[in-house]
Structure 1
Amino acid sequence: MVSDNCQKKLAKVIVPDKWKEGASNTTESGGRKLNENKLLSKKHRWTPYGTTKCTICKQQLHQEGKYCLSCAYKKGVCSMCGKQVLDTTHYKQSNV
């Protein structure tokens, strides 16, 4: 769960653009090399073991934030900033 203000901060997925006009990853525009792996290139390297951890359960997060997705949903807060997003007072949730 992410608040409206944090939508802009979300990480982008490394996939090719669908359209060739203005795409940065096509060979026609000089945006990328042939047979280049985007995950292994130097400037966009992805680290599977991030440095940030959830403040509640200490699980490693896949992108910047305070809470993992399961803890953020249980509390009803934004996973990035901790702002209250959802009222969970009448929800029946387990602690497991």
Structure 2
Amino acid sequence: MVCTTCEKKLQAVACPEKWKEGSNSRKINENKAIGKTKKYAPYATGKAAKCKVCKSTLHQEGLYCHGCAYKKGLCAMCGKQILDTKNYKQSAK
């Protein structure tokens, strides 16, 4: 759950469509283990961000995980209040 200003900052899909026409991203008989392409690592140990509330690892840049952002009505990336959850029945489980 992100606000309209942060929608532009969202990353591309982790698994883009590889078999669409005109795609040159796959080489025949390429060894993926020693290839020079940058691999997608959502939970890399280097600069892994943590959620401010539950301290879980985030899969994209931001401040809150999606669960905590929804429970509090915040934008997951910037922390701006975007939803009033005062009258919602939410459990903490």
Gaps of 5+ in 2: none
How many pairs align? Answer: 87
Tell me which residue corresponds to 1:15: 16
RMSD: 2.5
Instruction: Sort the Cα spacing of 1:59 and 1:88 in 2 relative to 1 into closer, same or farther, 3 A.
Output: same
Identity %: 49
1:30-72 Cα shifts (integer Å, max 9, x gaps): xx3523699x964542113140010100000111110000100
**Cα deviation, residue 95, structure 1:** 1.7
Q: TM-score, normalised by structure 2?
A: 0.76
TM-score by length of 1: 0.74
Spell out structure 1 runs of 4+ moving beyond 2 A. 16-20, 35-38, 40-44
Aligned to 1:7, the other structure's residue is in SS state helix
